[in-house]
């Protein structure tokens, strides 16, 4: 009798406990797998053509002819010392686990990209003294992304096209013993992503189930813990099935909360000055503490997938302290009225590595802002000017380093001609915009906050009737520039010239 009563009381308790831990594990699985929606979005443009290990925008130099090929060989040409060229490797969750090129191992020659050995947890780029390869890049995952960023201006574009043509990528027979992963298209992830009957949450969990066996966490202890939780969440043998009692909306809300909190957490952000914050240096930015900062990783995947690790690039964002905004990576929103202007007053040129560059890009929603100048970003590769009209950059720059201003004002409100070269058009009629500052090859003063970041102010739009407080210069002809990630949504369109879906399969 006693036994029965305790069982009666005990049973529902066990069940509730079971559900709550499955719910908890599901919350985790979603937080962990959410970036795969961004990855699939990226991968689908390649899978349509079965184009893994294929350098888009250059010629295909070799195609894998046999299923035994599984390593990848990247060849980088000799580049002039002024050229910024960064070859960035990402796992499928968007962790930037290795970089070669500017600021990293940067010798011309051949590089081997290989899936890490089974049972090992190494990853990253390592020089290979005396071997046929300059360095070996060990990938923690079987699938991944290589983004190539070339610094370009109007006078160097033809040369950069030549560098691109001399950069090659071929598949080679594997010398490693990493897991045999199936070909990427055969996982069927495109169909999941395209499904009209699944919610985003279900898609993320199904994608995770397909991908996770070949794409485990970078660190050993973490990988074991993740495997246990995913099993509890209902992910097993390549499929997801919802444990009974688990509510996916609860998981959705918990992920939203966790990601928002991580993006805003002061522990994850470092205050610079004049209202600018950046992702905490030393581990979190871009590589998410070797892939273990799941909530932050998800926050970045939702708005800035394929962010680089610091100091290859840093993305300080401006926060309007008067409105108590938070430090969401990618930049806080500002409202630009139809006759408003936002002025960015730079204290001087941001100090970069010799080949570095910077840009300010305006977005509305996740998109670049249409304008007749076709100017979507502005920075040191444009003919921007000091108030006296002399150029800030280029061989004709004679002015001592000092203050200059960038004007963000609606595309349909032209500023006086002396401002046109420093004008970054906002949306016609105004709107809520976010402006992202990108610093590639950031010098130490930019990371420490020693540099005085731009003062950001709002005022009435500058037109011919307004007395200009300062001016930009008279140049009106600037070519479109190619810097940084072009858009938070469509990474391919403007600036990332080479991008590769890497599939280290056998
Ligand atoms: C799971 O539950 C524990 C304990 O309540 C909590 O600390 C943790 O944040 C939860 N994890 C998720 C992903 O909700
Ligand atoms: C793509 O690759 C998969 C698996 O290798 C194959 O089944 C499929 O037919 C290929 N599709 C195209 C369009 O070549
Ligand atoms: C790669 O391996 C296959 C099968 O073992 C072999 O036929 C082929 O010759 C190898 N290719 C190279 C370049 O070594
Ligand atoms: C794979 O290779 C590594 C290093 O070469 C070795 O330590 C490991 O034991 C090998 N694993 C298997 C399963 O053969
Ligand atoms: C989860 O949240 C996202 C946006 O935050 C929403 O688009 C989606 O419909 C929500 N629900 C599910 C079940 O995916
Ligand atoms: C795993 O799935 C495969 C088919 O995808 C099936 O053949 C196999 O039996 C399954 N294994 C287990 C343990 O369920
Ligand atoms: C990340 O991994 C690298 C290489 O294994 C290690 O040197 C570094 O300390 C790790 N960093 C963090 C923040 O875990
Ligand atoms: C710019 O134009 C103004 C008059 O509109 C002129 O006074 C000034 O010299 C010009 N500056 C340059 C650098 O040409
Ligand atoms: C373009 O870039 C090259 C190489 O960095 C540089 O020498 C040249 O001055 C730049 N031209 C302009 C107009 O900025
Ligand atoms: C520098 O000025 C000269 C003379 O005005 C002009 O021809 C040349 O194009 C300018 N160079 C750059 C890089 O703007
Ligand atoms: C401003 O006025 C000048 C001279 O009156 C004219 O040439 C110029 O086109 C005007 N600029 C704009 C943006 O209206
Ligand atoms: C910042 O917020 C204050 C208070 O709402 C507002 O007056 C100011 O114009 C804002 N600054 C910008 C650049 O949006």
What's the per-residue H, E or C state across 100-129? EECCCCCCCEEEEEEECCCCCCCCEEEECC
CATH 2.60.120.1600 domain position(s) in the chain: 260-460
Specify the residue with its C-alpha closest to ligand 9, atom 3. Answer: 156
How much distance in Å is there from the Cα of 485 to the middle of ligand 7?
A: 26
**pLDDT tens digits along 259-314:** 988 888 888 888 899 989 888 876 787 888 888 899 999 988 887 788 888 888 88
Rounded to whole angstroms, the Cα distance separating 259 from 269 reads 14
Q: Is 205 in the pocket of ligand 5 (CB under 6 A)?
A: no
pLDDT at 475: 33
Q: Is 344 in the pocket of ligand 1 (CB under 6 A)?
A: no
For residue 450, name the pLDDT band (cuts at 50, 70, 90).
very high
pLDDT at 486: 28
3-class DSSP state for residue 47?
A: helix
Please give all residues whose beta carbon lies within 6 A of any atom in ligand 12, as ranges: 320, 322-323, 334, 342, 456-458
Q: Which of 10-14, 48-52, 179-183, 194-198 has the lowest mean pLDDT?
A: 10-14
pLDDT at 408: 96
For residue 51, name the pLDDT band (cuts at 50, 70, 90).
low
Instruction: Say which DSSP state 400 is in.
Output: P
pLDDT over 70 (residue 94): yes
How much distance in Å is there from the Cα of 405 to the middle of ligand 9?
A: 21
How much distance in Å is there from the Cα of 2 to the middle of ligand 8?
A: 97
Q: Kindly identify the ligand whose nearest atom is closest to the C-alpha of 151.
A: 9
Specify the residue with its C-alpha closest to ligand 3, atom 5. Answer: 68
Q: Is 3 in the pocket of ligand 3 (CB under 6 A)?
A: no
Decide: residue 470, CB within 10 A, 0-12 exposed, 13-18 middle, 19+ buried. Answer: middle
Mean pLDDT of the chain: 80
For residue 17, name the pLDDT band (cuts at 50, 70, 90).
low
For residue 243, name the pLDDT band (cuts at 50, 70, 90).
very high
Q: Kindly identify the ligand whose nearest atom is closest to the C-alpha of 117.
A: 4
Rounded to whole angstroms, the Cα distance separating 86 from 101 reads 5
Q: Given the CA of residue 84, which atom of ligand 9 is nearest to it?
A: 5
Rounded to whole angstroms, the Cα distance separating 88 from 214 reads 20
pLDDT at 310: 82
Percent of the chain exceeding pLDDT 90 equals 40
Instruction: Say which DSSP state 409 is in.
Output: E
Q: Per CATH, which fold does 260-460 belong to? A: Jelly Rolls (2.60.120)
Q: Kindly identify the ligand whose nearest atom is closest to the C-alpha of 172.
A: 3
Residue with tokens 């990576």: 329
pLDDT at 204: 97
3-state helix, strand, coil in the chain (%, to 5): 30, 25, 45
pLDDT at 500: 55
How much distance in Å is there from the Cα of 363 to the middle of ligand 5?
A: 23
How much distance in Å is there from the Cα of 390 to the middle of ligand 11?
A: 20
pLDDT at 427: 94
Q: Is 248 in the pocket of ligand 5 (CB under 6 A)?
A: yes
Do residues 343 and 457 lie in contact, with contact meaning Cβ atoms separated by under 8 Å? yes
pLDDT at 264: 80
Q: Is 468 in the pocket of ligand 5 (CB under 6 A)?
A: no
pLDDT at 416: 93
Percent of the chain exceeding pLDDT 70 equals 80
Q: Give the number of C-alpha atoms closer than 13 A to the C-alpha of residue 203, restricted to the C-beta side.
A: 20
Q: What's the pTM?
A: 0.79
For residue 178, name the pLDDT band (cuts at 50, 70, 90).
low
Query: What residues form DSSP beta bridges with 169?
Result: 74
pLDDT at 119: 81
pLDDT at 189: 92
Q: Which of 92, 189, 88 is nearest to 144 (CA)?
A: 92
The helix (H) or strand (E) run that includes residue 368 is: strand 367-368
Candidate of 116, 118, 126, 138 to mutate for ligand 4, largest count of ligand atoms within 8 Å of Cβ: 118
Specify the residue with its C-alpha closest to ligand 1, atom 2. Answer: 24
Specify the residue with its C-alpha closest to ligand 6, atom 9. Answer: 237
Q: Is 65 in the pocket of ligand 3 (CB under 6 A)?
A: no
Please give all residues whose beta carbon lies within 6 A of any atom in ligand 4, as ranges: 117-119, 177
How much distance in Å is there from the Cα of 290 to the middle of ligand 7?
A: 6
pLDDT at 465: 65
Q: Kindly identify the ligand whose nearest atom is closest to the C-alpha of 73.
A: 3
**pLDDT tens digits along 413-423:** 999 988 999 99
Please give all residues whose beta carbon lies within 6 A of any atom in ligand 11, as ranges: 414, 416-417, 464
pLDDT at 491: 25
How much distance in Å is there from the Cα of 388 to the middle of ligand 10?
A: 17
3-class DSSP state for residue 214?
A: helix
Phi, psi of 363, rounded to the nearest 5 degrees: -130, 150
**pLDDT tens digits along 120-177:** 888 999 999 878 999 999 988 888 888 888 877 667 777 887 888 888 888 787 777 7
Q: Which of 98, 83, 76 is nearest to 152 (CA)?
A: 83
pLDDT over 90 (residue 366): no
pLDDT over 50 (residue 207): yes
Q: Give the number of C-alpha atoms closer than 13 A to the C-alpha of residue 312, restricted to the C-beta side.
A: 29
């Amino acid at each position: 009798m006693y036994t029965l009563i305790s069982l009666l009381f005990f049973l529902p308790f066990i069940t509730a406990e079971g559900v709550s831990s499955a719910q908890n594990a599901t919350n985790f699985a979603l937080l962990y797998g959410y970036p795969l929606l961004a990855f699939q979005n990226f991968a689908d443009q390649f899978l349509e053509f079965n184009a893994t290990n294929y350098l888009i925008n250059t010629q295909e130099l070799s195609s894998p002819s046999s299923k035994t090929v599984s390593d990848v060989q990247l060849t980088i040409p000799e580049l002039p010392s002024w050229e910024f060229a960064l070859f960035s490797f990402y796992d499928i969750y968007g962790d930037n686990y290795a970089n070669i090129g500017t600021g990293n191992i940067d010798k011309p020659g051949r590089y081997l990209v290989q899936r890490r050995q089974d049972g090992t947890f190494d990853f990253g780029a390592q020089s290979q003294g005396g071997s046929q390869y300059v360095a070996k890049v060990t990938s923690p995952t079987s699938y991944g992304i290589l983004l190539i960023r070339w610094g370009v201006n109007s006078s160097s574009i033809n040369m950069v096209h030549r560098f691109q043509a001399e950069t090659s990528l071929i598949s080679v027979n594997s010398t490693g013993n990493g897991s045999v992963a199936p070909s990427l298209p055969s996982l069927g992830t495109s169909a999941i992503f395209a499904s009209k009957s699944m919610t985003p949450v279900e898609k993320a969990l199904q994608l995770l189930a397909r991908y996770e066996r070949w794409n485990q966490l970078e660190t050993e202890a973490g990988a074991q813990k993740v495997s246990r939780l995913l099993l509890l969440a209902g992910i097993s043998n390549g499929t997801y099935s919802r444990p009974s009692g688990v509510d996916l909306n609860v998981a959705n809300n918990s992920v939203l909360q966790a990601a928002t909190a991580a993006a805003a957490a002061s522990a994850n952000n470092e205050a610079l000055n004049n209202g600018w914050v950046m992702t905490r240096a030393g581990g979190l930015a871009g590589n998410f503490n070797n892939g273990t900062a799941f909530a932050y990783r998800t926050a970045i995947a939702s708005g800035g997938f394929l962010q680089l690790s610091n100091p290859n690039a840093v993305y300080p964002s401006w926060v309007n302290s008067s409105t108590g905004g938070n430090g969401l990576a990618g930049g806080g929103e500002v409202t630009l009225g139809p006759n408003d202007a936002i002025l960015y007053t730079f204290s001087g040129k941001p100090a970069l590595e010799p080949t570095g560059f910077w840009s300010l890009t305006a977005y509305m929603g996740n998109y670049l802002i249409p304008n007749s100048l076709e100017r979507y970003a502005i920075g040191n590769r444009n003919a921007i000017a000091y108030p006296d009209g002399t150029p800030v950059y280029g061989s004709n720059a004679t002015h001592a380093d000092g203050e200059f201003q960038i004007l963000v004002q609606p595309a349909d409100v032209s500023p006086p001609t002396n401002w046109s070269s420093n004008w970054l058009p906002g949306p016609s009629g105004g709107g809520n915009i976010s402006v992202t500052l990108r610093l590639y090859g950031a010098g130490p003063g930019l990371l420490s906050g020693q540099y005085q970041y731009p003062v950001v102010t709002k005022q009435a739009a500058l037109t011919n009737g307004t007395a200009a407080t300062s001016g930009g210069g008279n140049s009106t002809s600037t070519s479109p520039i190619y810097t940084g990630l072009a858009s938070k949504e469509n990474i391919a369109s403007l600036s990332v010239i080479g991008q590769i879906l890497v599939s280290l399969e056998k």
